[in-house]
A and B are shown apart, each in its own frame.
Chain A
Amino acid sequence: MNNIVFGIGITALIGALAAVAGAAEDTESNIGSQGDPNSQVQLAPQMGYIHRIFNKAIAGEPPAYGLWIVLGAGLAWSFMAMQLNAVLAIVLGSVLAVFVQGVYATTAYVGRTASLKKFGQPIYVDILKSMTTVTMAHAFIAIFCTVTLCYLMNAALGHPFPLPLLGFVWGIALGAAGSATGNPYYGKERQYQNQKFGAGVPIAQSGNIVRYAEAGERNSLDNGFFTAKLGGPASGVCFGLIVFLELWRTILFENISAGWGAIIIGVLMILVFTIIDRYIEVWGRKTYGPYAKPEEAKS
């Protein structure tokens, strides 16, 4: 019984860490335009829209986060093997991984923007100075939280994978959850604030991203400020739910009927999320209604 209570406590802590990691990851990727909306940031100068948006996308979010979290986890693991205190080892590992992220962000921004020289897009040194440090700060939160949750899974809950391997698995999952949930909100809702609300961006408008803020030109800090209100927390909820429910069903129900308990609970949870998804879909259709009259009515 004590074991289960301990496991549930650790699971709750891991879930909370995952939620923070997801929120920080999405905000970091939006400030750096790391997700899919980077295509629009890259396209805009080619369509004649010169902008001051940071763009460090030379890899998708999942592989980039896979790299940084493996680095953080691997270094923390090495430090622990050198008999360093676990907390210190995780902090040091995450700090070193963040330096790699900083180098990555700098070279990626300079490289991507330099390729737009013939379209007249300048490389803004002040953007490089102010944005890179902010993405690094957010990346540190995401990496530290994820490495810590991987450490807890391994040391406290007894998962057989070593720390770097867990870091890879959850780094990729973090990037996948963050980009799936957060990208549309940044891409459609923020970059194309000049388009109609409640409709997709017409393909003909591609590249016409919003470039001006309330005062002066918009930069990526404004974008991070905006998406941190919904896209970031939603990504945090997504990654937090994934990690928490996966651990929760294993810790509580693994011992029931030789593993089948956890499976049945997992299937039930999939059904619950299916019902919630269907509710959201029907709610959207009923509340917003169709864009055009149904085809039967026309004829």
Chain B
Amino acid sequence: MTAVAAKPAAGSALNPTAMVVGVVLLLIIIGACWQLAPGLAFMALIGIIVGGVLVGFGVHFVPVGGAPAAMGQAPGIATGVAMLAAGGGLAGLFGGAWAASQEGLVVSVVTGGVGGGLMMAITCMMVNFIYVYGMGIPAASGKIKVDPITGDTQTEYKSQGTEGHGLPFVSFVGGVIGGILGGAGGTIIYIMLLNLYKATLPTMMKATEAQILPIAISAAGIFAIGIFLVNAVLTAYNITGTIEGFHDPKFKRWPRAVVASAAASALCGFVAILIVTM
């Protein structure tokens, strides 16, 4: 089949072979970690995989319109999927990491999630502000006729020759959920690595915990941001361009991204663990 003949697959094109390969890869990496570094390092790997999957799944909620949104030709936020998700998720990681220096795991992860959600809420609100007050354009979805949350009709608010514009309420809610999941996921990855580094670095570097703390925080932060970006970019490939939120048919592709995110996070996390356990 040529590229011209190929029809764009909105959601159902899940490839079972690729999924199985992904799951097998994931199991192999988990098994290798269990063999090489059981205990704390293994638990850290599981945490990193959970965090990575949360990030990968969360990115699907973020309404991104890319270049067409900047011309009012498509609904969503006018920037790239991976970058917007990274902006929200890293703002969450900032709050989560701050909380982690004083509080426990649950409070830090929830703080990170709320930080990401807050960043996305402000950004989505300002997008609608610019569309409505700056450009005189009401929000309209191109994928659905009626907003599933508010019941507002969408089709007649779509201007001629466009696929919609702005952020309908359902997309706003999607953006906030995406920010919450991204912020929480990033924070889990950070805390898991930080705890591991704090436990292993003092013996490795023959120094006290207070002395290695800056190195542990920096290394955990860099790896957390790196693993976050890997998952955000992977998911951006899964979405291919633009998505309106969880009501978009493309949202049904999430199982692919979850398996890919789990395998990629496992591999990245394994490398992050090996530098202190080998």
| Chain A residues within 8 Å of B, Cβ to Cβ | 35-40, 60-63, 159-162, 165-166, 168-170, 172-173, 175-177, 179-189, 191-192, 197-206, 230-231, 234-235, 237-238, 241-242, 245-246, 249-250, 254, 258-260, 262-263, 266-267, 269-270, 273-274, 276-278, 280-281, 283-285, 288, 290-295
Query: 20 A-B contacts, Cβ less than 8 Å apart?
Result: A36-B69, A62-B86, A161-B221, A169-B225, A173-B88, A175-B87, A176-B88, A179-B79, A180-B78, A181-B129, A183-B79, A184-B69, A184-B130, A188-B70, A200-B164, A203-B68, A235-B126, A259-B111, A273-B121, A274-B121
Chain A neighbourhood of B160, CB < 8 A: 199, 202, 291
B176 sits at the interface (CB 8 A)? yes
Chain B neighbourhood of A231, CB < 8 A: 130, 134
Q: Is the CB of B86 within 8 A of A172?
A: yes
A-B contact count (CB 8 A): 297
A58-B110 Cα distance, complex, nearest whole Å: 36
Q: Is the CB of A184 within 8 A of B162?
A: no
Q: Is the CB of B176 within 8 A of A198?
A: no
Chain B neighbourhood of A246, CB < 8 A: 91, 94-95, 115, 118-119
Q: Is the CB of A180 within 8 A of B66?
A: no
Q: Is the CB of B83 within 8 A of A172?
A: yes
Chain A neighbourhood of B163, CB < 8 A: 203
Among candidates A36, A235, A245, residue contacting B118 with C-beta atoms closer than 8 Å: A245
Do A60 and B80 contact each other (CB < 8 Å), given the known contacts A187-B71, A200-B72?
A: yes
Q: Is the CB of B126 within 8 A of A181?
A: yes
Secondary structure of the B side of the interface?
helix
Chain A neighbourhood of B83, CB < 8 A: 60-63, 172, 175-176, 179
Chain A neighbourhood of B84, CB < 8 A: 62, 176, 180
Q: In the complex, what residue of chain A is closest to B123 when comparing beta carbons?
A: A180
A290-B94 Cα distance, complex, nearest whole Å: 42
Task: Spot the interface stretch: B18-26, B96-104, B201-209, B255-263.
Answer: B96-104
B275 sits at the interface (CB 8 A)? no
Among candidates A189, A242, A260, A277, residue contacting B169 with C-beta atoms closer than 8 Å: A277
Chain B neighbourhood of A281, CB < 8 A: 128, 132, 138-139, 166-169, 172
Chain B neighbourhood of A295, CB < 8 A: 153, 155-156
Do A183 and B70 contact each other (CB < 8 Å), given the known contacts A199-B159, A246-B119, A277-B125?
A: yes
Among candidates B77, B95, B110, residue contacting A180 with C-beta atoms closer than 8 Å: B77
Chain A neighbourhood of B100, CB < 8 A: 160
B245 sits at the interface (CB 8 A)? no
Q: Is the CB of A180 within 8 A of B139?
A: no
Within the complex, the shortest CB–CB distance from A142 to chain B, in Å, comes to 15
